[in-house]
Amino acid sequence: MIEGAGSLRRLRIGSFTVLCAVLCSTGFVGCSETTLPYAPTMYSDGTNPFDQLETSRRTPEFKVYYATDRKSTSNPDGTTTYGNGRSTSMAIGAATVRLGPEQNWNWDELVEASLDRNSSTNVPLRITAVNEAIRFPSSSPPRKLVDGQIVKDQAVEEERMDAAAYARELIAAEVAMADRKEIFLFVHGIQNSFESPVYRIAQIWHMMGRTGVPIAYAWPSHPGRGALRGYTYDRESGEFTVYHLRQFLRLLASVPELEKIHILAHSRGTDVTLTALREISLIEAGRGRSPREVLKLGNLILAAPDLDLEVTIQRTNPDNVTAAAERLTIYVSERDEAIGIASWLFGSVGRLGRLRSDEISPERRETLFSPRFDIVDVRARDLGEYKHNYFVENPAALSDIILLLRDNRIAGAEHGRPLVRDESGFWLLYDGYPVGGRHMRELDKPQSSSSSAERAALEQDPARDFE
């Protein structure tokens, strides 16, 4: 049980080797420890996001709440672990994350290392405890036949309502202690362990300055099944988890104290998220209600989305799914190797995560773009290994994620997000963003679309200045 729970009980493309390496690079794959990412370039001017942080939050240990439908195992010591199997019952709990080495650093030392681009990746990050607080009853319980009609088991429904009520109390208490009454929810991609999304949102939340409440949604992907079988297993696990994500989003939104939910989905997690939002949108439209108001959904970010472009447009536009969020932002890179493999594997006409501005016709451009929808083309030189986790591993891209999530800034220099705009409507992000380097040189140029040759020349530029 989580501390403070009281007496309430827990409620029930090249070679195959390259292909395997690329597909298995999408998460931390079973890591029991990781580190902070490179410090965002936005802090290279001396900005300190922790200046206004409350004293109670200036600690190396913090909690990341989670929801998961992975199968759990109870260990002899009373702890809980989650494997890669699927569970029809969703659990909610909290992971305790520790930042820094075993020997205690004082807060100032931790902040200094976090904001130093040369030191941040040496700061260890590890989960020290996982505490499951709530387990919902199965989403597929036996049905009863009464007078020829299938009816729900009343005892199961009461247990479900009790679990939901306790979950609301738990989240409400955490929201009440936060400086902002907002949740930042991360939905991971394929071949991730349970720990992976916890680490990822912990990295982002810390680098944002520890504002709001961080939550990880851990669906049952499998980091150890190999390339193709693992990928197909995870695609079907993504379909399996949609109901639970849908219910979890509704649960979060029903917390009265909560003002807004922001979702950051990565890779295959973008399909899971959009499918859940589509189902909610259809249900609420049938009830004559606004999905955005029901869900309290602010920013929806799709990072390196592993989605077929045509399928995505067909499944979201007719039902106006993206209207469920105040703002939709998609991060793409044509050098994303994992998305390139997926495009080859499925024979996609176009994969959303590698979308280029010159691939969009004027007709499609009108379909895609709106005042609340942006595509950010990440053209930074160093996108990390296999160029798929760049939204966190590249310090310029992470800076834009922070400006969007934490500060809710609209794209454009006049709004404090000085991205480069090309004629197609794409926003371009280069090394050094937002304070210097190549990005500032590009920002000073006339804002026009770049040819493929110009893009190739930029990527060969050996300069990597972040001043």
pLDDT of 414 higher than 60: yes
pLDDT digits (tens, 9 = 90+) for 365-396: 666 656 688 999 999 988 877 788 999 999 99
Q: What is the mean pLDDT of residues 269-280?
A: 96
Tokens of 256: 């009265």
Cα of 282 vs its chain's centroid, Å:
23
Q: What are phi and psi of 434, to 5 degrees?
A: -105, 10
Cα of 104 vs its chain's centroid, Å:
30
Q: Can you give the pTM of this predicted structure?
A: 0.87
pLDDT of 35 higher than 70: yes
Q: What are phi and psi of 195, to 5 degrees?
A: -70, -30
pLDDT of 53 higher than 80: yes
Query: How sure is the predictor about 74, in pLDDT bands with cuts at 50, 70 and 90?
Result: confident
What does the pLDDT read at residue 250? Answer: 97
Least confident of 21-35, 60-74, 115-129, 349-363: 21-35
Average pLDDT of the chain is: 84
Tokens of 383: 């996108």
- Three-class DSSP category at 253: helix
pLDDT of 346 higher than 70: no
What does the pLDDT read at residue 442? Answer: 86
Query: How sure is the predictor about 40, in pLDDT bands with cuts at 50, 70 and 90?
Result: very high
pLDDT of 226 higher than 60: no
Least confident of 170-179, 255-264, 310-319, 442-451: 442-451
Q: What is the mean pLDDT of residues 27-32?
A: 46
pLDDT of 293 higher than 60: yes
DSSP one-letter code for 369? -
Question: In residues, how long is the chain?
Answer: 467
pLDDT digits (tens, 9 = 90+) for 136-157: 999 987 777 777 787 778 888 8
Q: What percent of the chain is modeled with pLDDT above 70?
A: 83
What does the pLDDT read at residue 206? Answer: 98
User: Can you tell me the distance from the alpha carbon of 435 to that of 36, in angstroms, rounded to the nearest whole number?
Assistant: 21
The reply to whether omega before 446 is within 30° of 0 (cis) is no
pLDDT digits (tens, 9 = 90+) for 395-408: 999 999 999 999 99
Return the higher-pLDDT residue of 303 and 450.
Answer: 303
Return the higher-pLDDT residue of 159 and 19.
Answer: 159
Q: What are phi and psi of 47, to 5 degrees?
A: -65, 135
Return the higher-pLDDT residue of 396 and 10.
Answer: 396
Contact between 65 and 261 (Cβ < 8 Å): no
User: Can you tell me the distance from the alpha carbon of 16 to that of 384, in angstroms, rounded to the nearest whole number?
Assistant: 21
Query: How sure is the predictor about 362, in pLDDT bands with cuts at 50, 70 and 90?
Result: low
Q: What is the mean pLDDT of residues 329-347?
A: 80
What does the pLDDT read at residue 25? Answer: 39
What does the pLDDT read at residue 344? Answer: 65
pLDDT of 210 higher than 70: yes
